[in-house]
């Protein structure tokens, strides 16, 4: 038998794939073996009659995207869901004072009936093993040492992720192999998204499961009876202005924001039309920090700007924003994800375009083509006049047809995730 020394094997692999490539393949194999071991462990646990503990690890309630999924787990006798709240890392080190406090995060979930626990005490992050997770859902990259590495977390839980935003840009770094590829499951919104990831590198879609977008499950419910509470004058035309945070310099990866050019234009428009309109300012949760950091406004100037909006309408910065979406009449935004999230409302949207922004992908362009795309103040006011004053919405039929392809009327995205995990763990469907 031919003997080959391990060092020679290592050298050959290193030459073939490079040291970084080899190291990543080893990590990937470890994550897959760990997931295989966890599946076997959890199948034994289920057979014993114990419930599977599902941990949702969150550090920003404004981006909460798991409402329907949490409720699906809660309704199943086989699962025990819990939300664990922690601060973002920049808050932890004292460099960001613009976010919700940990106590406010806790209250957000507690008031909505979630089982919620603190994952941070006395200035330190608690070991996630404290919560005995069996399945671990990321809200976003956690910014917590060890947690952002699914290879580590997979040693004691199955790692899963649904994007908190609807991915619509043709930006390669939206897929991070060192995170997404090491997950047990990456639940993606559309087959085109899965194909895009696979196009970046062979094998990227191996752990991807197409389920749709759990946030949109809210559209299976009727408009809340108390939806008028969101609006200062609910009898008028209800308009949302939702500015994105990407106001930075040329190094910003998305550059969607038109806030530097349009923030005063929109406030003036709201004041000029207040006899017939009522407004909600829905800022991205990172907008405050981004605007101040970029030097566009001081903190005092931004506070004054928000106060001005409070006089015209209201400022809404909570995570459960679909009540205002469903009860509105129009959105004006430069945010990409809202092109999808707002579509099932049936209402028109004015898209503010930054000419230097990251291009949309194939799916994103489908959404953009159903809306009113404007590039400057003149175009904005022309479209606003057509929609709000004259009531002409020529894109309504196009949006309705696209919405039919976006939401599966037979099954929610949360139900698809639940069914996938049940099948993986050998749980029979009810």
> Mind listing the pLDDT tens digit for each residue in 272-300?
999 999 999 999 988 998 899 889 999 99
CATH number of the domain encompassing residue 390? 3.40.50.2000
CATH number of the domain encompassing residue 161? 3.40.50
Three-state DSSP state, 324: helix
Two structure tokens written together for 138: 């990321």
Average pLDDT on 320-332 reads 92
CA–CA distance from 77 to each of 49, 137, 221, 413 (Å)? 10, 19, 23, 19
Q: Which of 254, 317, 251 is nearest to 281 (CA)?
A: 317
For the chain, what is the radius of gyration of the CA atoms? 23
Tell me the pTM.
0.85
Give the CA angle between residues 373, 281, 104 to the nearest 5°: 130
Two structure tokens written together for 133: 């997770």
Q: Which long-range contacts (CB under 8 A, 24 or more apart) does 36-41 make?
A: 38/134, 38/154, 38/156, 38/157, 38/158, 38/184, 39/158, 39/424, 39/425
Q: Are both 100 and 81 inside the same structural domain?
A: yes
Range of the domain at 15: 6-212+410-424
Average pLDDT on 87-95 reads 77
- Rounded to whole angstroms, the Cα distance separating 225 from 227 reads 6
Q: What is the pLDDT of residues 358-381, one digit of tens each?
A: 888 888 999 999 999 999 999 999
- Rounded to whole angstroms, the Cα distance separating 319 from 329 reads 20
| CA end-to-end distance (rounded Å), the chain | 55
| Strand partners for 80 | 53
Two structure tokens written together for 13: 């692999």
> What is the band of 96 on the pLDDT scale with cuts at 50, 70, 90?
low
- Residue at 264 is within a domain: yes
Q: Are both 402 and 314 inside the same structural domain?
A: yes
- What DSSP character marks residue 389? I
Q: According to the model, what pLDDT value does residue 182 have?
A: 93
Residue 430: count of CB within 10 angstroms of its CB: 8
Q: Are both 187 and 299 inside the same structural domain?
A: no
Q: What is the pLDDT of residues 205-254, one digit of tens each?
A: 999 999 999 999 998 888 777 778 889 999 999 999 999 988 865 555 67
Q: How many domains does the chain have?
A: 2
- Residue at 17 is within a domain: yes
């Amino acid at each position: 038998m031919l003997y080959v020394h391990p060092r020679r094997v290592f050298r050959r692999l290193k030459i073939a794939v490079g040291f970084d490539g080899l190291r990543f393949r080893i990590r990937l194999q470890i994550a897959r073996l760990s997931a295989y071991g966890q599946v076997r462990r959890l199948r034994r646990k289920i057979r014993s009659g114990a419930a599977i503990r599902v941990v949702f690890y969150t550090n920003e309630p404004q981006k909460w995207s798991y409402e329907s999924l949490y409720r699906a787990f809660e309704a199943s006798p086989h699962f025990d869901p819990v939300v664990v709240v922690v601060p973002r890392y920049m808050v932890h080190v004292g460099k960001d004072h613009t976010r919700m406090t940990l106590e406010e995060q806790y209250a957000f979930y507690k008031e909505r009936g979630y089982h919620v626990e603190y994952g941070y005490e006395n200035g330190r992050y608690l070991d996630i093993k404290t919560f005995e997770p069996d399945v671990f859902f990321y809200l976003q990259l956690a910014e917590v040492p060890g947690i952002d590495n699914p290879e580590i977390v997979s040693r004691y839980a199955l790692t899963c992720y649904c994007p908190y935003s609807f991915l619509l840009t043709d930006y390669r770094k939206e897929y991070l192999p060192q995170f997404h590829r090491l997950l047990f499951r990456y639940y993606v919104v559309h087959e085109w998204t899965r194909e895009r990831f696979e196009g970046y590198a062979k094998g990227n879609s191996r752990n991807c499961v197409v389920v749709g977008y759990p946030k949109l499950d809210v559209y299976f419910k009727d408009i809340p009876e108390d939806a008028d509470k969101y609006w200062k004058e609910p009898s008028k035309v209800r308009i949302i202005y939702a500015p994105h945070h990407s106001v930075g310099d040329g190094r910003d990866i998305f550059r969607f924001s038109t806030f530097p050019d349009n923030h005063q234009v929109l406030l003036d428009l709201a004041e000029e039309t207040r006899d017939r309109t009522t407004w909600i300012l829905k800022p991205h949760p990172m907008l405050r920090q981004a605007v101040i950091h970029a030097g566009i406004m001081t903190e005092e100037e931004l506070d004054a700007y928000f106060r001005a909006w409070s006089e015209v309408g209201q400022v809404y910065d909570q995570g459960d924003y679909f009540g205002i979406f469903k009860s509105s009449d129009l959105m004006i935004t430069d945010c990409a994800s809202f092109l999808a999230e707002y579509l099932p409302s049936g209402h028109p949207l004015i898209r503010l375009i930054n000419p230097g922004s990251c291009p949309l992908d194939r799916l994103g362009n489908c959404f953009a083509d159903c809306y009113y795309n404007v590039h400057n103040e003149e175009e904005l006011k022309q479209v606003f006049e057509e929609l709000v004053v004259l009531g002409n919405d020529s894109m309504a039929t196009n949006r309705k047809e696209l919405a039919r392809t976006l939401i599966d009327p037979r099954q929610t995205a949360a139900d698809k995730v639940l069914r996938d995990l049940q099948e993986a763990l050998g749980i029979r469907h009810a």
